């Protein structure tokens, strides 16, 4: 199972109760539709960035396996048969095994056999040599740090790829949550605009009846019709905004407009607000937490570690090659006997050998250029990490400020709606007794409508601010072998 699917499955496990208990909005609550959990799950399953990250993990796994192949044992075998014009036939065979250890030491063993017979003397003479050897690097390639540099760097590249996937999942969850709340807001705004248009339509009928009864001047109908036209225009704009919001969410979760349209509406209401949400005052602590949790930063730091290995290996390659090889050989020889017994017939004392090899690239342009390139790449990555750390700090501070402002704006917008609701009721009462004008009533109605729309937008902004804060801190995906998404309940509220 892919990491993305594992994330989604874990999200379902920890979040099913949260979805069932999600508080509903008071405006335009749909009976069914797509939940936030479902949207996040689809996003994790179908997000192209996550799918690309999965392929990169597979690529890194292949690269790691290939790098480790340097230390696989190598078996080599050969046999040759030669016959001269004077009927001398020589058969030579060899079998050898060698393996480089991660310390740079090379182990080897070999067995060679040679037999010769002639037409005049068909009884073959056989000779076999059994040898073992061990090679030690003295300068270049000495020790695991250098001999296994490619494999160690590949291990870190695999870890980096896994961090990249987790970061891609975090981005997908955050962007999907924002798109979901935008869809919810678009639906509620459309419902509010429809209700506003319906009230304006009823007001046209009421005023027309009063005009017909001679209780209102005929000119009043123009004001009311203009008000209705404005409400109708606003409703049409809200319908287009809903289409745009559906398409935006569909893009995040891999559904076209038709598929998303069949999913009806955003079934989860906005996060509940009781006026008692505490503001965040520990911004610096959250910045520190973010630098410890953010997967994009971990990915960059892991890549820096891999580059450090590459720089050290490139520096090591500037040295000459100097190696010592120690060996031992045993020779057996027989004539006219079973060739399989050749090693039991010692032809002399065992031989001990020692060799020294030295290779010096006088100019060494390739190694020098590679070292220069790797060093510059390392420096570039170091600068990039500092920039990312700064960006994360700024992002967290902005998210904290945005969250605090959204809490305050949500409270003020709710108060504004409550006040305008009372004002509208008062103006309607005053209109009945003739102490205010129809224009005043229309204006107050419009102001209340604006306040209601602003309140819906503030609820969406508050919900998005929660997701933004979780994302900036690095809390949307846990860091561990059992990777999981935060529950939907945690996407609906922020708390330590």
pLDDT tens by residue, 153-177: 999 999 999 999 999 999 999 999 9
Give the helix/strand (H/E) hosting 109: strand 106-118
Q: Are strands 88-100 and 106-118 parallel, antiparallel or unpaired?
A: antiparallel
Residue 186's pLDDT band (boundaries 50, 70, 90)? very high
Domain boundary residue, one of 296, 329, 363: 363
Spatial CA neighbour of 168 closest among 458, 485, 437: 485
At residue 191, the pLDDT reads: 95
Distance CA 235, CA 479 (A): 45
Domain span at residue 86 reads 78-148+320-363
The residue among 61 and 25 whose pLDDT is bigger is: 61
Q: Are strands 88-100 and 74-83 parallel, antiparallel or unpaired?
A: antiparallel
Whether pLDDT at 108 is above 50: yes
Residues 175, 238, single domain; the answer is yes
- DSSP secondary-structure letter at 21? T
Residues 172, 263, single domain; the answer is yes
Residues 107, 168, single domain; the answer is no
Residue 335's Cβ-count burial label (10 Å; 0-12, 13-18, 19+) is middle
Does 390 map to a domain? yes
Residues 99, 40, single domain; the answer is no
Residues 103, 171, single domain; the answer is no
| Averaged pLDDT score across all residues of the chain | 85
Does 182 map to a domain? yes
Residues 451, 357, single domain; the answer is no
- Give DSSP secondary structure letters for 312-325: HHHHHTTSPEEEEE
Spatial CA neighbour of 464 closest among 253, 208, 176: 176
Distance CA 379, CA 161 (A): 21
Cβ–Cβ under 8 Å, residues 403 and 494: yes
Residues 212, 182, single domain; the answer is yes
Distance CA 117, CA 126 (A): 9
Task: Give strand pairing partners of 355.
Answer: 325
- DSSP secondary-structure letter at 483? -
Average the pLDDT over 77-91 and give the result. Answer: 83
Whether pLDDT at 262 is above 70: no
Whether pLDDT at 15 is above 60: no
Domain count, the chain: 2
Does 11 map to a domain? no
Residues 249, 166, single domain; the answer is yes
Residues 437, 483, single domain; the answer is yes
At residue 342, the pLDDT reads: 64
Domain of residue 212, CATH code: 1.20.1600.10
Cβ–Cβ under 8 Å, residues 254 and 45: yes
Residue 416's pLDDT band (boundaries 50, 70, 90)? very high
Distance CA 311, CA 315 (A): 6
- Cβ contacts of residue 344 below 8 Å, gap of 6+? 332
Distance CA 467, CA 469 (A): 5
E strand map for 389-448: none
Whether pLDDT at 9 is above 60: no
At residue 402, the pLDDT reads: 94
What token pair was written down for 247? 């398409």
Lowest mean pLDDT among 3-7, 75-79, 168-172, 394-398: 3-7
Does 355 map to a domain? yes
Does 404 map to a domain? yes
Does 335 map to a domain? yes
Residues 297, 397, single domain; the answer is yes
Does 20 map to a domain? no
Residues 228, 291, single domain; the answer is yes
pLDDT tens string 333-354: 777 655 556 666 666 678 899 9
Distance CA 326, CA 347 (A): 21
Average the pLDDT over 206-231 and give the result. Answer: 88
- The segment with the largest mean pLDDT, out of 6-15, 34-43, 113-122, 189-198, is 189-198
203: number of Cβ within 10 Å: 20
Spatial CA neighbour of 293 closest among 392, 364, 211: 392
At residue 483, the pLDDT reads: 60
Does 96 map to a domain? yes
Whether pLDDT at 137 is above 50: yes
pTM over 0.75: yes
Residue 319's Cβ-count burial label (10 Å; 0-12, 13-18, 19+) is middle
- Cβ contacts of residue 95 below 8 Å, gap of 6+? 75, 76, 77, 110, 111, 112
Residues 186, 86, single domain; the answer is no
At residue 328, the pLDDT reads: 93
Distance CA 447, CA 200 (A): 14
């Amino acid at each position: 199972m892919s990491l993305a699917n594992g994330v989604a499955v874990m999200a379902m496990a920890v979040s099913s109760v949260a979805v069932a208990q999600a508080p509903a909005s008071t405006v335009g609550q749909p009976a069914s539709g797509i939940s936030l959990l479902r949207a996040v799950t689809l996003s994790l399953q179908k997000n192209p960035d996550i799918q690309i990250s999965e392929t990169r993990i597979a690529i890194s796994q292949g690269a790691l396996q290939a790098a480790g192949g340097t230390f696989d044992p190598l078996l080599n075998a050969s046999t040759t048969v030669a016959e001269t014009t004077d009927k001398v036939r020589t058969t030579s065979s060899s079998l050898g095994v060698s393996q480089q250890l991660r310390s740079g030491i090379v182990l080897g063993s070999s067995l060679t056999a040679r037999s010769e017979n002639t037409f005049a003397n068909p009884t073959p003479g056989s000779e076999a040599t059994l040898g073992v050897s061990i090679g030690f690097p003295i300068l270049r390639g000495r020790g695991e740090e250098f001999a296994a540099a490619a494999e160690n760097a590949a291990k870190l590249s695999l870890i980096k790829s896994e961090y990249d996937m987790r970061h891609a999942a975090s981005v997908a969850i955050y962007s999907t949550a924002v798109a979901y709340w935008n869809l919810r807001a678009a639906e509620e705004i459309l419902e509010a605009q429809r209700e506003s248009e319906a009230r304006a339509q009823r007001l046209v009928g009421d005023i027309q009846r009063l005009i017909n009864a001679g209780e209102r001047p005929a000119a009043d109908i123009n004001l009311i019709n203009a008000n209705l036209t404005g409400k109708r225009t606003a409703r049409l704009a809200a319908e287009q905004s809903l289409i745009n919001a559906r398409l935006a969410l569909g893009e995040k979760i891999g559904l076209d407009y038709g598929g998303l349209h069949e999913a009806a509406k955003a079934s989860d209401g906005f996060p509940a607000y009781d006026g008692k949400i505490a503001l965040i005052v520990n911004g610096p602590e959250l910045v520190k937490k973010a630098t410890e949790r953010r997967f994009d930063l971990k990915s960059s730091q892991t890549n820096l570690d891999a580059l450090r290995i590459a720089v050290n290996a490139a520096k090591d390659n500037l040295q000459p090659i100097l190696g010592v090889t120690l060996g031992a050989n045993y020779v057996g020889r027989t004539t006219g006997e079973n060739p399989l017994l050749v090693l039991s017939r010692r032809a002399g004392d065992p031989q001990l050998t020692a060799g020294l090899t030295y290779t010096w690239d006088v100019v060494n342009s390739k190694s020098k250029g590679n070292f220069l390139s790797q060093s510059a790449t390392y420096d570039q990555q170091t600068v990039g990490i500092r920039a990312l750390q700064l960006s994360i700090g700024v992002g967290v501070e902005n998210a904290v400020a945005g969250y605090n402002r959204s809490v305050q704006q949500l409270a003020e917008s709710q108060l504004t709606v409550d006040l305008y609701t009372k004002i509208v009721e008062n103006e309607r009462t005053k209109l009945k007794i003739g102490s205010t004008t129809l224009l005043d009533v229309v204006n107050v109605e419009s102001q209340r409508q604006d306040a209601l729309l602003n309140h819906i937008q503030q609820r969406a902004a508050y919900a998005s601010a929660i997701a933004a804060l979780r994302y900036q801190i690095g809390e949307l995906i846990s860091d561990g072998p059992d990777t999981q998404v935060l529950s939907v309940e945690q996407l609906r509220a922020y708390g330590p």
